[in-house]
Structure 1
Amino acid sequence: MGADTSNKPEFKRSPSHFVDRITADGSEGWPVEAGRYRLIVSRACPWANRAMIARRLLGLESAISLAVADPIQDERSWRFTLDPDGRDPVLGIRFLAEAYYARDPEYTGGISVPAIVDIPSGKLVTNDYLHIPANFATEWRSLHREGAPDLYPEPLRDEIDEISEVIFRDVNNGVYVCGFARTQQTYERAFTALFTRLDALSERLSRQRYLVGDSITVADIALFVTLVRFDAVYHGHFKCNRNKLTEMPVLWAYARDLFQTPGIGDTVDFDHIKRHYYVVHRDINPSGIVPLGPDLSGWLTPHGREELGGRPFGDGTPPGPPPEAERIPAQW
């Protein structure tokens, strides 16, 4: 997450400052190499969740290790208080900021996840949250598991990019514009754009199982990470309350379909999600009280989307279970 939530009328998402790519040929100075890099995430963050899902579906767990930050930040940035002694066991750092400053000691911007860190040097490589999933799908192909799906198929990239752009603008970012709006006009404009876009996506998904083509792509991952947080956080906390997700039948079924797909729902930690948003955003929720609801058990109910056809993994196969250290405790 990277955002400016200061007292301004308009919410502005901070752009990624470090946009280096890790490439198969090493042309940008960072070659794909198994075991060299560490993916830093918060399970609360939708942008980090995108990277986690792509990593799981493609079977990159052994190629790029995972560090999970505490969902509760402090003024020093994302912290590794979930690990023994409060240090990441691989990088040896207490705060993600340390990797940012190792890369650029003069850096004064936000400290965001997902972040990929070069283990030998301890330096941040990239925090380019929008493009990490597609980069995993293309540049890391030599390290994909056998049977990995094609999440960014070349013939469909223009369409994937087009729909991903409007999802980012109106949905992924739109919920934040609603939540952090300082004027009624700003809020109402973002609210209207959000639900207009969700209605259009619902219409599209009433006719096809996935957003583009007949299998899961990075576009579906982009939409899912907002939908899965919608009722737990965005509906109440960010005032995105025209409807709950559970009251939008097509999108609710679509989201359940993806949640029940191996490699997607097993990356979602509702406890981390709720604690982060409700505790950290004291300007929105001064009490820091985390609501007990909503009932989340409906995520495992039948969705019926198989009737639309499509194959979740295309010509590929499902990923195996997550590594033991990455499994999320039962949530209901």
Structure 2
Amino acid sequence: MSERNEHSKGGVYSVKGKEFNRDSRYIETRIVAEPREGTDDYPVEPHRYRLVAAYACPWANRAIIVRDLLGLDQVISMGNPGPTHDEDSWTFDLDPGGVDPVLGIAKLKEAYERRFPGYDRGITVPAIVDETTGEVVTNNFPQITEDFYVEWKQFHKADAPNLWPDELRDEMDDVMQRIYTEVNNGVYRCGFAGSQEAYDAAYDRLWTAMDWLEERLAERRYLMGEQITEADVRLFTTLVRFDPVYHGHFKCNRNKLTEMPNLWGYARDLFQTPGFGDNVDFEQIKAHYYVVHTDLNPLSIVPKGPDLANWRSEHGRG
């Protein structure tokens, strides 16, 4: 998901005097094991779909991590746009000739337009594209990762984690909802506040949630207990961007992540788990926020810091 791209395509990014309001209208088509009659469901089919996901984007980063954790890299290909984009679309700057080698397109917008001519909402990542037609299937980021677990289960690797444990589902839904509204989206509410009053309210909401998480993680290794779940993936992609971007760029600066012992240990624990840290690219993350958000950073100067070597230090969460 690109906040700037959403703004240019009709989403609200900040309105003077008001709080940031995310355009959450996504393509609700799903890829399922048993397509339902009377719907536009697509069937689960190995080697048919391409996940288009930028490492820079926290929402796309979720899908990259879950695909890796479950071993779906063997059946779903992946294309990675560059960290920056124009007002029109995410682009494949990292590929030879600036063209995705499988889809044969320079802009992700082309896949959206093939299915929905004149598509007038944000050209967002993650998106799943049908390789057989070149058409976008879905960009509904929370549904994508849930379906990776539930609908693609027959293709999971043998030691794939149970990211959606049935016995924890109700509590986990509540935890993930609070993380989404107060933390994942909360940092943007701070960064794109349209007034001092909106910023102050957003800041207070964010830090109330961060303190709640710090307290929760004092008593358990992961958010839901002793095993990694989808909830951890959803929080991790915000935490890993906190000190490099959100602390300064979005003015979420009460303190750094490194100054919260439980959250900092937890974040490093996940970072050092295969599938998490090896799918983080700090240089792309910083380039995206500091270059694309010219209204917040008009000269597009990318800061050299912070020193991120400490992500590999002992976390003490075993």
Shorter-chain TM range is: over 0.9
Given that 2:14 and 2:21 are in contact with CA atoms closer than 8 Å, whether structure 1 keeps it comes out as no
Aligned pair 1:264/2:240, yes or no?
A: no
Given that 1:171 and 1:194 are in contact with CA atoms closer than 8 Å, whether structure 2 keeps it comes out as yes
* Residue number in structure 2 paired with 1:310: none
Q: Secondary structure at the match of 2:34?
A: coil
Aligned pair 1:32/2:44, yes or no?
A: yes
1:213 and 1:133 mapped to 2: Cα distance?
A: 20
2:143 and 2:282 mapped to 1: Cα distance?
A: 24
**1:207-222 pair list within 5 angstroms:** 207-222=219-234
Q: Secondary structure at the match of 1:124?
A: strand
Q: Which runs of 5+ in 1 are unaligned?
A: 307-332
Given that 1:24 and 1:31 are in contact with CA atoms closer than 8 Å, whether structure 2 keeps it comes out as yes
Q: Which runs of 5+ in 2 are unaligned?
A: 4-11
Identity of matched residues, %: 57
Root-mean-square deviation (CA), in Å?
1.0
Q: Which amino acid aligns with 1:33?
A: E
- What is the CA-CA distance between 1:10 and the residue it aligns to? 2.3
Per-residue Cα deviation, 1:35-72 (whole angstroms, up to 9, x for no partner): 10000011110000111110000000011111000111
TM-score, structure 2 as length reference: 0.94
* Residue number in structure 2 paired with 1:154: 166
* Residue number in structure 1 paired with 2:9: none
Cα 1:2/1:291, change in 2 over 3 Å: closer
- What is the CA-CA distance between 1:209 and the residue it aligns to? 0.3
Q: Which amino acid aligns with 2:124?
A: S
* Residue number in structure 2 paired with 1:128: 140
* Residue number in structure 1 paired with 2:13: 5
* Residue number in structure 2 paired with 1:237: 249
Q: Which amino acid aligns with 1:73?
A: H
1:132 and 1:155 mapped to 2: Cα distance?
A: 21
* Residue number in structure 1 paired with 2:311: 299
2:57 and 2:286 mapped to 1: Cα distance?
A: 10
Q: Which amino acid aligns with 2:248?
A: G
2:33 and 2:225 mapped to 1: Cα distance?
A: 26
Q: Which amino acid aligns with 1:25?
A: E
Aligned pair 1:18/2:27, yes or no?
A: yes
2:14 and 2:253 mapped to 1: Cα distance?
A: 23
- What is the CA-CA distance between 1:101 and the residue it aligns to? 0.8
* Residue number in structure 2 paired with 1:116: 128
* Residue number in structure 1 paired with 2:65: 53
Given that 1:16 and 1:129 are in contact with CA atoms closer than 8 Å, whether structure 2 keeps it comes out as no
* Residue number in structure 1 paired with 2:217: 205
1:106 and 1:230 mapped to 2: Cα distance?
A: 36
Per-residue Cα deviation, 1:107-164 (whole angstroms, up to 9, x for no partner): 1111110000111111111111122111111110011111111111122111111100
* Residue number in structure 2 paired with 1:323: none
**1:55-204 pair list within 5 angstroms:** 55-204=67-216
Moved over 4 A (4+): none
Q: Which amino acid aligns with 2:52?
A: I
2:87 and 2:63 mapped to 1: Cα distance?
A: 25
Per-residue Cα deviation, 1:279-327 (whole angstroms, up to 9, x for no partner): 0000000010000000000100000001xxxxxxxxxxxxxxxxxxxxx
- What is the CA-CA distance between 1:7 and the residue it aligns to? 4.4
1:162 and 1:111 mapped to 2: Cα distance?
A: 29
2:225 and 2:266 mapped to 1: Cα distance?
A: 15
How many residues are matched?
306
2:138 and 2:285 mapped to 1: Cα distance?
A: 23
Per-residue Cα deviation, 1:182-204 (whole angstroms, up to 9, x for no partner): 10111111111111101011101
TM-score, structure 1 as length reference: 0.90
1:214 and 1:132 mapped to 2: Cα distance?
A: 25
2:27 and 2:204 mapped to 1: Cα distance?
A: 32
- What is the CA-CA distance between 1:76 and the residue it aligns to? 2.2
Given that 1:2 and 1:15 are in contact with CA atoms closer than 8 Å, whether structure 2 keeps it comes out as no
1:115 and 1:183 mapped to 2: Cα distance?
A: 33
